[in-house]
Each structure stands twice: as C-alpha cells, then as structure tokens.
Amino acid sequence: MPELNPFAIAQAQLDEAAEVLQLDPATHELLRWPLRELHVTLPVKMDDGAFKVFQGFRVQYNDARGPTKGGLRYHPDETIDTVRALAAWMTWKCAMVDIPLGGAKGGIVCDPRKMSQGELERLSRAYIRQVGRIIGPEKDVPAPDVYTNPQIMAWMMDEFSFMQGFNEFGVITGKPLPLGGSAGRGDATARGGIYCLREAGRVLNLELNGATAAVQGYGNAGSFAHQLGSDLVGLKVVAVSDSRGGIYSPDGLDYESVYAHKQQTGTVLGFPGTKEITNSELLELDVDVLIPSALESVITEANANNIKAKVSVELANGPTTPEADKILYDNGVYVIPDFLANAGGVTVSYFEMVQNAYDYYWDIEMVHERLDKKMTAAFHATHETAQKLKLHNRLAAYVVSVARVAEAMHLRGWV
Ligand code: GLU
C-alpha cells in the first residue's frame, strides 16, 4: 500500500508543514528529497566458509545546520525508502532539540538474530570500508538503532580509525564507555521520552504516579522506558512486548524481573503470572499511557479508533501514519511525536561528539541536566505551537523544526 511507504509518509507530513509555513516552492522541494545517498554491496565471509553478499545504504538527508547524524539499522525488511524516511526524521529531530547537526540514516538488509558475532563483526567492518569515504566527525556521524549496539559501534570506529591512520572516536556515537562513549547514552532515548511525558503530565494536569502504561518493543528504547517510566514518574507498566508477542498483568510488571527473564530466554513471553497478548492487542489496551517503542506504521487508520490511551509517547520512529494522526487528534489522544519523544538519543550522541572533540568527559549528572533542558525546551516549543496554531502535535513539531532548517538554508543562500 503506497500510503504505508515510510518515505511517502515523511514527504506527506512535510507537505502539510510547508503549507502551514507557506514555504516557497524551491525550499519545499529541496526539503522533500535527500541531498545524497550511497548504496553499497558487501561481500562477507560467513562462518561456514561461504561468501554471502549484503546490500546496505547511507542516506545524508540535509546538512544545512551541521554534519549529518543518525543511526544504522540491521533489519531483514530494510529498504532504501525506510532509510530515506528515517534520514528525513533525523533532520527534523536534530532541529527539534536545536543541536547543530543535520539528518542521516543507514541500514543493512540482514537478519542479525541469525548471525554469529564473528559474522556481524565482518559485516560491520565491510560496511565501513565502503561508507567510510563519506562519513567522519565533520561530515556524517552514525550511531546505534534497531538491532545495532555499542559493540558494533566499537568495530566500526576501529575500522574507520585504521582507514584514517589514527584514532577517530568522533566518527560514531553510542560507543562503549572505554572507547569514548558518553555517560548516559544507553538510556538516553527512553529518558528523553519520559522527560517529555513528565512535561505533558504538567500541561495536561494528568497524574502520572500510578498511571497505567503499555510498552510495545523491548529493545534499547522500550526496556529502558519500562525502567525509567517506573523510576522517574511512577508509571505502573501493565504490559510489555517484543517481536514475538506481549505479556499483560493488571498488577503491574516489575522491570528487573522482566528484564532478567528476557536476558535468560530471549523473549518477554512466558514471564510467570502474566497473560499472553499480541502486539496489536497491546496497542489497544485500556491504559493511560502508550509507549510504542518498536517499528514504524503500527498505529494506522485500521486501529487508531481503538487506541484508548490518553497519551502516546512515540519512542519508535514513525509508529503512527498520517491518517491515524488525524483520528488520534480528533479522539483527544495526546501524541508526543517521535522526533520529539525519542530525540534524547541523538541529543546525548551530540554530547558524545562534543566530549570526543575536546577529549574531556562529563559526569552522568551533567549529561542528565543538559538532556533535561533540551527535551523540556523542545516539548514546550511544540506544545505551544500546537495550542497557538490549533494543530496536532506532530504537525506543530514539524512547523518548529522545518522552519529552523529552512532558515539555515536561506541564510546559506541555497534557495
Ligand atoms: N538511532 C537513534 C535515533 O533514531 C539515535 C541517532 C543518533 O544518536 O545519532 O534517533
């Protein structure tokens, strides 16, 4: 279905913002497309001795405000259009939290769950041998995303450093702490989302302590949302899920025990004392707060009317389609849109780049304080624009971010 092509969705969202902002046609057209993209073909020796050939991408969407920034996904369903959409969203995300970076994204079509550590290392190094020519701290800085992690970032930084002939820690973020990683990068995406939820609680007059929540996805974003949602604002998380399905308990789920179960068994399913539910049932639960933290296009025209949550905190990129956005808005669901809610990850990635550049590292309190300031400012810029112009929050976030990128392009004399 064309409307579920994420890049067509990203362009349609931009078109609406361009209309509100009355952008001139050239500025609008330039923002509809990536500035550059590289397609790579990667031969990798597998453990059985045979070679397998993988396809990969890196899309540099827009660098008017600074070097491009964005994660790398390893996923069997990756396509150039998902990567383009995600690169566009990174552009709006960096502008949203007002950090001096543009947007990019990369991906490799592969199933990391079926690969050994050695195969993953060789694939990651092969990717850098091709993409290395267009990345670097002054050009484009990758980071973790779906099914990539600090170990993969370490191999990539190492490969790039060998290509350069010196250690270049700042080429990539989300690195392990001993290799120039930043304190607080691990849970930054979820933490930023929970800071936004705290602010939403204030403006909506919604008591979050004891409020029920459901979290879809149990990767880096979802699992930390379970932990920090409970620890920072007192949410009672009653349901969580991963790609295999979900679990529900009206009494609430203890983070430490569910996380340990997932570590041991590879899934949240089978956690004692819970009822098994599907991922789509989880979205429709009667809870106060919904936290989609998995993949794109899960809330669509087909199920938006069944969403009962008062607030949706989008830690995933692109979980809600444009048709669903309108339905949620009409039904009074307060959406904290993806490139605001999940901007904490790239914000701490930016802090990591700054620390790498001056080779001096901050303590965790400093990271949290500066992250909170960025997220709180971005939340209120969006909320106030939505109220003033009577727009849903995603369109308001677009209006704020696109105006910032357009201003940079105008000042540079691009259009
Ligand atoms: N992949 C994350 C995102 O979608 C983080 C990107 C980064 O840190 O550069 O925001």
Catalytic residues: 105
182-415 has which fold? Answer: Rossmann fold (3.40.50)
Domain locations in the chain? 35-179, 182-415
- Distance in Å, CA 330 to ligand 1 centroid: 30
Q: Amino acid letter at 35? A: L
Amino acid residing at 146: V
Per-residue pLDDT at 4: 80
- Predicted local distance difference test score (pLDDT) of residue 274: 98
Residues within a 6 A CB radius of ligand 1: 69-71, 93, 143, 145, 173-174, 317, 342, 345-346, 349
CA-wise closest residue to 122 among 97, 90, 158: 158
Q: Environment class of residue 330 by beta-carbon count within 10 Å: exposed (0-12), middle (13-18) or buried (19+)? A: exposed
What token pair was written down for 68? 């491009």
How close is the Cα of 143 to the center of ligand 1, in Å? 6
pLDDT of residue 389: 98
Q: Where are the alpha helices (DSSP H) in 205-343?
A: 220-233, 255-265, 279-283, 322-330, 338-341
Comparing 35-179 with 182-415, is the CATH topology the same? yes
Q: How far is the CA of 61 from the centre of ligand 1 (A)?
A: 14
Best residue among 90, 91, 220 to mutate for probing ligand 1's pocket (most ligand atoms within 8 Å of CB) is 90
Give me the CATH code for the 35-179 domain, please. 3.40.50.10860
| Cα 132 to middle of ligand 1, angstroms | 19
Q: Examine the pLDDT at 3 and tell me if it is beyond 80.
A: no
Rg (CA), the chain: 20
Q: Determine the residue of 153, 175, 185, 189 to mutate for testing ligand 1's pocket, defined as the one with the most ligand atoms within 8 A of the Cβ atom.
A: 189
Q: Over the stretch 157-167, which tens digit does the pLDDT of each residue have?
A: 999 999 999 99
pLDDT in tens, 349-406: 999 999 999 999 999 999 999 999 999 999 999 999 999 999 999 999 999 999 999 9
- Between strands 68-69 and 102-108, the pairing is parallel
pTM: 0.97
